[in-house]
Structure 1
């Protein structure tokens, strides 16, 4: 379904290592082993089970590869991207094509491509400029075409087209006059249209014989707008599944009989939203669901998968996820994440109850000194529970107990969105920073998703206030627990996490020892002025949850919550990274605060990547910025750092300001 629920906005010098002596006996893990290309990732089984595809490097750039499912030695590349990595792919329903989307330089104008497996012929199915293609529905029953959305007529709204995979022919199915999304059934018939409301909520309308009814099937207010939506129809079209928080706090899995309208709650959890399910590929009926409070787990709804899920839980070490299933449902791909070892992908043959390892994503990390992640429940000052994740360096927790033997410097790593969440599992940033000698804490502050609508709504109009207080409360917790001391905490994050870093050094200027902002907004008013046009459906939600720039009160609030207006208060070192083509957080967001600080002669280091957008997709760029970051943190927190070396020169990094304020940066540019 094309949905526009609120989008998540918002990574050679000779420099000595700044090492704490207790950490020196732990080998330094090179940046490239953590942030370089994986050897293989994103595997998918073709629906007929004959092929296996994955993403892997070709001449140093991630591309799509394919092999017969029973003979991976015959693998061959299907695509030949030369610069920008492909980060995912999926199969056509006829198992003849591998499909993928790709943008240019991070502009997020994603176009849809397909490659015929037999011939290797590649087709751009959406050859339009300034267009963002979206896949609406892939049916298991109609195999020669799919439904896609295109905003090439009006950049705000996606018209629905039927795409013939063999010829590339596009046929208009539904002109979109102000609808945020559509839901189709397995006959590729549009069944539901979603329309944004002026209060930030959503109205859902039935579509009958190609016409959108005038009376809503359902109305959802602002409070439920992030946690309620129709999810899928069964193959026979008789049952509609909802993720639904109406009349409850956390989102439940609900089945609605289409003929009678009767609803049945299939699953709910008082701690967390039901967000994902396992659906029978033959019937579309839900067989299991997952909950993710402290950790993710599958819970069967019937006997269909009960034995399979029990077998996988018993025979895998770590968190497992079912990532791909054949149409016959005889074979699955299972991703296994042990946290303290690199993730691996396995083939599960259901009838034989047989697991076969296919590959390890990052074999270069096997045997590396990776550390455990520890889920925590932290109380905010007003009693809200903040599900958080703590990683400790071996220097203070050699046994991986989750208890620090003595305080270590801490990096508060803030997730983006803010309507997103942190979760349990291998995290490259946690491992990298812990290896450098830092404790790492990631906090699901109010406004984060996954913990019910009340938790999301508690963040409304609280950017830089109660949302920031939650981060401060988590730091206080870490100090009281002996994890760190109040004078050696850095704040770092991307998107909203970058905003939080700016807020941290501007609103609470002596709380953090330093800050790292990656693609974070500094001026909330200009942020809302420059959001992409295809987020039109979510605009009222932005206004209701952040502040309304069309009203005097909203303008005053946005001004008050913008770190730019408090730049003169910044006292601690600040590092900023930005993609020049970012469509979500315009490059001016970083430029404005750098200019304001420079005018006041306040030190700030600013690194721009001309071929990136909202974050750094190219590994050479990510490695370069992280090289600067770890040496910046080493000066600030006295942890360890791998010298910058040639990392900057291998990237497209442009240091626009303040090279002299980041250790080793000026030398690395020579």
Structure 2
């Protein structure tokens, strides 16, 4: 289910305990590793959920990885061995979407230097790429394959930059036709026979609706509301069932958390499918529908269930290390699946298993072999009281070297969003800092997702105020730990988290000792007036939460750090991508200039070939080296 509030999402992690386990083997002598060593891990991404991850013969799995320094598409044999590189991009990250149903062609996606204007390409059997969605300002995404394999659907804003229409592409000729002109909602899914289309209309961050369109009814194709309600209730779409008989949708109508419900297309009957004490993250089915894969967001970890709907028994896997399961994909005849496993100390690796035995085979080893995994640390979930007594959850990483006699400097890490969530899992950025002796505490301030709708909405139109106070109290929590140096605590964050860094330094100038702002908003007036056109469908929801710049400009100016930069007197590092369409480069340029005018130490790292998040490995290494160098100079050495 789409989270409408992670519009400014940035890199973050999750959170842990005062009595946190240090992880690894404490008897081993500690060794530090360079940023380059940590980022020589290989990041793996699987094919799109609605695509074909397995080759037609079932012998290879379609993935993307960044072993070349930038993401490219690869095929991976189910027998193991080195992946075969399929695309050769040296600059733009290229992600795998799907094999064609009956041959070795594949679909891939790439933007231009991080500008988020994704195009969909076909890689022909001879290795050449063909852009299926050309256009300077076009943004396009793959939606699904038609059941017969002779066509596929793509959403594109080629007609109107603010609206994504539905196009059907012939799988042989690549000829396309407009099959649905979108009135301005979000296209969520389509049945495999192309009859039913599901649309989502977000009204506010707390209220949304689901509509159905019968594409086979040529004379009656008006969207039909299926979630009529009063008050604020959030609805979203997981998927249509493979047989096209039902829509699986999500809603918080029946409690604090998103539940999965089933809507019968023939009878309009609604029945509960999955109800839990946490949010249901996703629901997907195998090609025939026999297997249902679902996950819940259990206190910042992912708990996946693979259910055999015939026996109503969960599939048991063996030979799988501890960690979060993800990216479950089935081959065509449902005899084998592929999936990833990641943990705090290990990046995502690709596994495969036959369904008749469940015995898994590990196909990749993402962690740089030069790094001893036993020297990395596991995080634990911790909660602390904020200014009003509200319990704030988060993730704490304790360095192996930290003790009461060797107290560690610390970083409060703030996630993006504003409604994002710091979660358990591997982060090269975090593990590198912890490996060099920094405690990292990723606080999930009020307004974070994953903890119920009440908690989620506690910061509505109070951004830079109550959520900022939660972050300040994260420092106070760290000061209670006898292994943390309470005199050396900084703040770090990306995107909305970067905004919180600048806000903390400007509005709570004594709360933190240094700040690291990674492409953070500094001027809400400008940001809310310059959102990308493809965000038009949820502009109203964004304005409902943050305020409409036409009527709330005074408040936006009050909470914008740029207009209060004269208060900043602690050292600041700013990192920015020049092609960022969400947080424009000028946001960082102006903040750096304003703080330098205070005669405060400011460092600025600008990447000309990145957008909102850094995809090139060399740039991630450069940024990471800058983080550590800055923290060592201005936090660790602080007198």
Deviation at residue 443 of structure 1 after TM alignment: 1.4
* Alignment pair present for 1:328 and 2:325: no
Higher relative contact order, chain-length normalized (CA < 8 Å, sep 6+): 2
Deviation at residue 124 of structure 1 after TM alignment: 1.2
Aligned counterparts of 1:245 and 1:544: Cα–Cα separation in 2: 19
Q: Deviation string for 1:364-416 (max 9, x for gaps)?
A: 3552421111122333333443331111111026xxxxxx7764211111111
Is the contact between residue 286 and residue 330 of structure 2 (CA under 8 Å) also seen in structure 1? no
* Alignment-derived partner of residue 607 in structure 1: 605
* Alignment-derived partner of residue 166 in structure 1: 172
Deviation at residue 439 of structure 1 after TM alignment: 0.6
1:458-497 equivalences under 5 Å are 458-497=458-497
Is the contact between residue 307 and residue 315 of structure 2 (CA under 8 Å) also seen in structure 1? no
* Alignment-derived partner of residue 268 in structure 2: 261
Is the contact between residue 196 and residue 203 of structure 1 (CA under 8 Å) also seen in structure 2? yes
Unmatched 5+ residue regions in structure 2?
12-25, 48-52
Is the contact between residue 319 and residue 338 of structure 1 (CA under 8 Å) also seen in structure 2? yes
* Alignment-derived partner of residue 594 in structure 2: 596
Aligned counterparts of 2:252 and 2:72: Cα–Cα separation in 1: 40
Q: What secondary structure sits across from 1:486 in the alignment?
A: strand
The TM-score, its normalising length taken from structure 1, stands at 0.85
Deviation at residue 41 of structure 1 after TM alignment: 5.4
Identify which of 385, 392, 399 aligns with 1:393. 399
CA-based RMSD of the aligned residues comes to 2.9
Aligned counterparts of 2:45 and 2:392: Cα–Cα separation in 1: 31
* Alignment pair present for 1:29 and 2:26: no
* Alignment-derived partner of residue 54 in structure 1: 63
Residues 326 and 302 from structure 1, CA distance in 2 versus in 1: closer, same or farther, beyond 3 angstroms?
A: closer
Q: Deviation string for 1:199-233 (max 9, x for gaps)?
A: 974343331315443652224788444xx212211
* Alignment-derived partner of residue 446 in structure 1: 446
Is the contact between residue 198 and residue 212 of structure 2 (CA under 8 Å) also seen in structure 1? yes
Residues 49 and 409 from structure 1, CA distance in 2 versus in 1: closer, same or farther, beyond 3 angstroms?
A: same
Aligned counterparts of 1:304 and 1:387: Cα–Cα separation in 2: 39
Q: What secondary structure sits across from 1:632 in the alignment?
A: helix
Deviation at residue 193 of structure 1 after TM alignment: 2.9
Deviation at residue 449 of structure 1 after TM alignment: 1.6
1:554-573 equivalences under 5 Å are 554-573=552-571
Unmatched 5+ residue regions in structure 1?
12-21, 398-403, 641-670
* Alignment-derived partner of residue 629 in structure 2: 631
Deviation at residue 566 of structure 1 after TM alignment: 1.2
Is the contact between residue 517 and residue 576 of structure 1 (CA under 8 Å) also seen in structure 2? yes
Aligned counterparts of 2:368 and 2:456: Cα–Cα separation in 1: 38
The TM-score, its normalising length taken from structure 2, stands at 0.89
Deviates more, 1:277-286 or 1:78-87: 277-286
Aligned counterparts of 2:311 and 2:582: Cα–Cα separation in 1: 40
Q: Deviation string for 1:495-530 (max 9, x for gaps)?
A: 011101101111111111100001101011111011
Q: Deviation string for 1:562-608 (max 9, x for gaps)?
A: 11111000010001011111100011111221222234443322221
* Alignment-derived partner of residue 175 in structure 1: 181
Deviates more, 1:331-340 or 1:162-171: 331-340
Residues 596 and 364 from structure 1, CA distance in 2 versus in 1: closer, same or farther, beyond 3 angstroms?
A: same
Q: What secondary structure sits across from 1:362 in the alignment?
A: coil
Residues 482 and 544 from structure 1, CA distance in 2 versus in 1: closer, same or farther, beyond 3 angstroms?
A: farther
Q: What secondary structure sits across from 1:409 in the alignment?
A: strand
Q: What secondary structure sits across from 1:626 in the alignment?
A: helix
Q: How many residues align?
A: 614
Q: Deviation string for 1:3-50 (max 9, x for gaps)?
A: 793452147xxxxxxxxxx99962111111212461765474336523
Aligned counterparts of 1:39 and 1:495: Cα–Cα separation in 2: 21
Residues 521 and 291 from structure 1, CA distance in 2 versus in 1: closer, same or farther, beyond 3 angstroms?
A: closer
Q: What secondary structure sits across from 2:185 in the alignment?
A: coil
* Alignment-derived partner of residue 157 in structure 1: 163
1:396-411 equivalences under 5 Å are 396=402, 407-411=407-411
Deviation at residue 306 of structure 1 after TM alignment: 7.1
Aligned counterparts of 1:306 and 1:247: Cα–Cα separation in 2: 24
* Alignment-derived partner of residue 91 in structure 2: 83
Q: Deviation string for 1:32-72 (max 9, x for gaps)?
A: 12124617654743365232233345754432222554464
Aligned counterparts of 2:311 and 2:35: Cα–Cα separation in 1: 40
* Alignment pair present for 1:574 and 2:579: no
Identify which of 189, 192, 201 aligns with 1:195. 201
Identify which of 193, 218, 225 aligns with 1:216. 225
Q: What secondary structure sits across from 1:578 in the alignment?
A: strand
Is the contact between residue 47 and residue 325 of structure 1 (CA under 8 Å) also seen in structure 2? no
Q: What secondary structure sits across from 1:96 in the alignment?
A: coil
Q: Deviation string for 1:145-204 (max 9, x for gaps)?
A: 211111122100011100123322111101123223343111123433333448974343
